[in-house]
Each structure stands twice: as structure tokens, then as C-alpha cells.
A and B are shown apart, each in its own frame.
Chain A
């Protein structure tokens, strides 16, 4: 049993977005790994990508002559414009996010708590320069906020935890966590594995203890 690659996780998220929103969804993909999801959206999914620096219907990354320094995404990567795009200023863009108009937002995370709290902006380490960007707005604003991360950190410690030990980004804001070792729901009912990949239910329970994940 092998774990899922980042591409496989991104494909799973893309599939679930398309399944949940058959008529198309408005989606924000956080900077870093979540941007991979765009590459896996099925043709005709009708998904419209939002970038918080003021654009809807963002296209793929720009290359060569298509690069325009005035057209970048939230990660400051040059991107392209799809047909039906629109531009708006930052207050309007964040009003859109904070007002609950995005269907799905996918974020990276350091930790997610069983109750759905998110920690993804700051390690709290001494000397670290804090930088939050739009993470707190996205965390509380989208209709569904999903996380894409590895289930364990480099030291092997679980990133789904009883309580976040890193500084919080938002309280009770996460619906679902896509990881290399499976997909999980978190929230009031605790942790529930929707599917496992590369880990047995027994090992999962042992490594996430004292959490007691249920397995669908």
C-alpha cells in the first residue's frame, strides 16, 4: 500500500470539486501545493478560479511572451486571463471572499484540529517574521474550506491534532483534509476518515492518538 502523491491528492480534490458543483464552482486555490489542483480539473468542469489580488476566471501560468507583470496570481506568479474574466480591487476581492461567495477554498496547513481549527500562517518560532496574507480571510470566508497537506510532519508527528499548537489561522473553519494517507472530515463530530491510502485503520488510530478517528 503506497501513499498518494501531491498530484494524486490534487486530482482527488479536483474530482470532489467537480462532483460537488456539477454546474461549476468558484474556487480559490491557496499559494503553494493547492495551485496543483488547477491542473487536474476535468475538461468542462466549469470551475472558475479566483485569485485574491483581484481577478475571477484566472487562467494557467503564463510563459514566455505571455508574461505580463500586471497579471499575476496571489503567489505573484504571472498568469493568464480566460474568456469571461473580470478584475476588481482588493476591497471588492476580499468582500467576495469574506462574504461567503466562494464555493471552495483549498489551503495548505501546518496543523488542523479535530474540531476544524486551522493553523497555517506562522510557526511561532522565535525570530520568524509573521506574514499572514489572505489566509485568515480565506479560512473564514469560503463556503467550504479544504486543506491539502501531508498527514505527518517531517518528524513523523501527526498534523491532524486534538488542539493546534501553532498559532491559529481560524476557528472551526475546515471541512475536509486531503492528505497523502487519506481524506478526512473534521468538525463537531471529530475526525472521520473518508478513505485511507498507505495506512491501516489501526496504524492511523495509533499515530493520531489520543484522537479516535472513525473510518467510513
Chain B
């Protein structure tokens, strides 16, 4: 397994650097926004990966509710944590892009606002996991994840309608995408997905090790107490 990991790591590194090169150089410069539009190739794929991770978190939480399998719980924790990291990237690159183009740091763009709300929900998810002192923390976290997922469509529609009342510039530009830009976007997306997979896998092993160590320590203090 170790060998497979390193091969994947090298491949991801290659893919990432190629996609970076493609985004900065190969992709054509957009007429209206100029070079700054290239932020698009990092901003949008990060958002897609974040949403994918949160989707996996929801599925893992439902599985945990049904089967109470620790594996599902750890997957839920890991995807939430890494998802928040990718979400932070989106929330930082968004305003950096909006500033030069529209002269404002924040715009109630549909995707950007949805990412912000999701970020808030999953940060509260991680806070709950850290502060919960009950032995049933995974269960409480799973319940919160399900509530979060139920909230997403409501958030989507409320912001969508909110935006029709307060028109705001759209980040990432809707409309048809020039195919020469399209493949660069997709290659970055794949690179980010591979990166996300690597980070999740490492974080998963770390969590498993951490829980084993805590258990061993607890068992030991119990034994020492008994002697």
C-alpha cells in the first residue's frame, strides 16, 4: 500500500504542476478581464472538490447512522475537515478575484455565498466534534451533518432569489466556456481531486492511529489503576 501511495503522490505532483502551467500560460487570456481571470482555474475546481467532499461526508454520516461503523465516522470527519480547507481556498480566492475586476471584496454571487454558508455549517460541525464530551460524539456529528445537508437546497434557493432582488456580479462567469479554457479547468479539477484524495487518505490513517493510541493509553491507566 505504501508504494501505491508514493506513486499516486508523484503522479498528483506532476498533474498539479502541469495544470498550474496550463492555467498560467497555456489557457488563452480572457478579453474583458485579462490575466486575473486565470484565478478561475483554481477558484472553481476548489469549490467543486469542496462540494464533493461534503457530499461524501453526508453519505458517510447516513451510513454511520444506519450501521454505526467507525470507518464511516472517520471518513465523515476527514472529508469534513479537508472540505473546509478547500472551502477556505474558495472563500479567499473569490474576493481576490472580485477586487481587481469589480472593485469590491465581496459579492453575493450564488456559488460564493453557498460556499460561505457551507463553510459555516461544516466549521460548526468540526467545533461540535471537538467540544463534545459524550461517548456518542460521532452520532451527534452525524445528526448535524444530516441537518446540514437538508439545509443546502434551502440555502441555494434563498440565495438564488435573494440575488434576483439584489443583482450582483457573477464570479466565474456563466455562459459558454471557450473549449481551450475548458480542458485546463478540468485538468485542474482532476489534479485537485487527486490532491484531496491523498490528503484524506493520510488524515484517515492519522485518525485511526490517534484513536488506537488513546484507547491503549486509557486501557493502560485502567490496568495500572487496578494493580
B partners with A? no
